[in-house]
Chain A
Amino acid sequence: ETGVTQTPRHLVMGMTNKKSLKCEQHLGHNAMYWYKQSAKKPLELMFVYNFKEQTENNSVPSRFSPECPNSSHLFLHLHTLQPEDSALYLCASSQESSGGPTGELFFGEGSRLTVL
């Protein structure tokens, strides 16, 4: 039990589908993140939400659309993806303070996405 739960664990979708990944954290944290983990590439930070406001968007294509309705839930909406978007998508949370982030992220187990 990680404290960060991601669903679904596995997703196969066609390029014209619309799907969503869901993340829920049970740790009382105030920041949530989406990372992309591809084979042989470093973990890529996609989106950051601090106190429910998006504070980072690392040039992610618009076919990925995040949503953070509250501090415990984070979604990643997927639309017209490409095969190269196939990867493990990791959600993480942390507790941020006015002194700056602790850098300690708590990760979920990931959603393995395959785009056909």
Chain B
Amino acid sequence: AQSVSQHNHHVILSEAASLELGCNYSYGGTVNLFWYVQYPGQHLQLLLKYFSGDPLVKGIKGFEAEFIKSKFSFNLRKPSVQWSDTAEYFCAVPQGGSQGNLIFGKGTKLSVKP
């Protein structure tokens, strides 16, 4: 069965610092990958997604993620974080890799100090 690992439970950064959150998945075939974000008191929402093509995916609010097939990774990055990026970030992958229902990682809580 597919699984998703997020290595960092809680990350604390100062504003303008660079961010990289790790995500690894287990399924080795065709795979769709997602990052979702949950801002404090708000609903989960899609940040970015990868289906095929360019492995560097751009999302909202300056976030990007790179799909590295050889490493089974889909790390989330942002060159310069803002206080408003404080949120919990979830990596997700469909159960079957490219189809099926989403399996989520445990999430990484990001706290950005002003």
Closest Cβ of chain A to B63, distance in Å, is: 16
Closest to B34 in A: A103
| Contacting pair A107 B43 (CB below 8 A) | yes
Chain A interface size band reads 20 to 34
List residues of B (32-65) whose CB comes within 8 Å of A's CBs: 32, 34, 36, 42-46, 49
Q: Which of B11-19, B20-28, B71-79, B104-112 contacts A (4 or more CB under 8 A)?
A: B104-112
Residues of B within 8 A of A41 (CB): 106
Q: Is A33 part of the binding interface, using a Cβ–Cβ cutoff of 8 Å?
A: yes
User: Can you list 15 A-B pairs with a CB-CB distance of less than 8 A?
Assistant: A42-B4, A42-B105, A43-B104, A45-B101, A56-B101, A90-B43, A90-B44, A92-B44, A100-B98, A101-B101, A105-B46, A105-B102, A107-B43, A107-B44, A109-B43
Closest to A109 in B: B43
Q: Point out the residue from A4, A45, A48, A100 that lies within 8 Å of B103, measured CB to CB.
A: A45
A108-B49 Cα distance, complex, nearest whole Å: 19
Q: How many residues of B contact A (CB 8 A)?
A: 23
B90 close to A (CB within 8 Å): yes
Max chain B CB contacts within 10 Å: which of A45, A108, A110? A45
Q: Which B residues are CB-close (under 8 A) to A109?
A: 42-43
Residues of A within 8 A of B92 (CB): 103
Say yes or no: A103 contacts B106, CB within 8 Å: no
B106's contact among A4, A40, A48, A108, by CB below 8 Å, is which?
A40
